[in-house]
Amino acid sequence: MWYANYSSVSTVRQAIGIGLITIFGSLVARSATLQQLSLDDMIAKSTAIVRGQITGSYAARNGPVIYTFYQIQVIEQYKGTKQGSVTMAVPGGAADNLRQTFPGAPEFNTSDQFVFFLWTGKSGLTQVIGLTQGLFKLSAAASPDPVATREASAELMLDRGTGHPVKDQTLVMPLSKLKSHIGSKLGPSETK
Task: Identify the pLDDT of residue 143.
Answer: 83
Judgement on whether residues 23 and 90 belong to the same structural domain of the protein: no
192 within some domain: no
6 shares its domain with 65: no
| pLDDT for residue 105 | 93
Report the number of distinct structural domains present in the chain.
2
Note whether 24 and 99 are same-domain residues: no
pLDDT along the chain (192 residues), means of 10: 46 44 40 82 97 97 95 97 95 95 92 96 94 93 89 87 90 97 86 56
Please indicate, yes or no, whether residues 23 and 45 belong to a single structural domain of this protein.
no
Domain presence at residue 190: no
In this prediction the pTM is 0.79
Q: Give the residue numbers spanning the domain of 164.
A: 33-185
Are 117 and 25 within one domain? no
In a shared domain, residues 99 and 128: yes
3-state secondary structure the chain: CHHHHHHHHHHHHHHHHHHHHHHHHHHHHCCCEEECCCHHHHHHHCCEEEEEEEEEEEEEEECCEEEEEEEEEEEEEEECCCCCEEEEEEECEEECCEEECCCCCCCCCCCCEEEEEEEECCCCCEEECCHHHHEEEECCCCCCCCEEEECCCCCEEECCCCCCEECCCCEEEEHHHHHHHHHHHCCCCCCC
Same domain for 25 and 115, yes or no, is no
pLDDT at res. 19: 40
Residues 23 and 77 in one domain: no
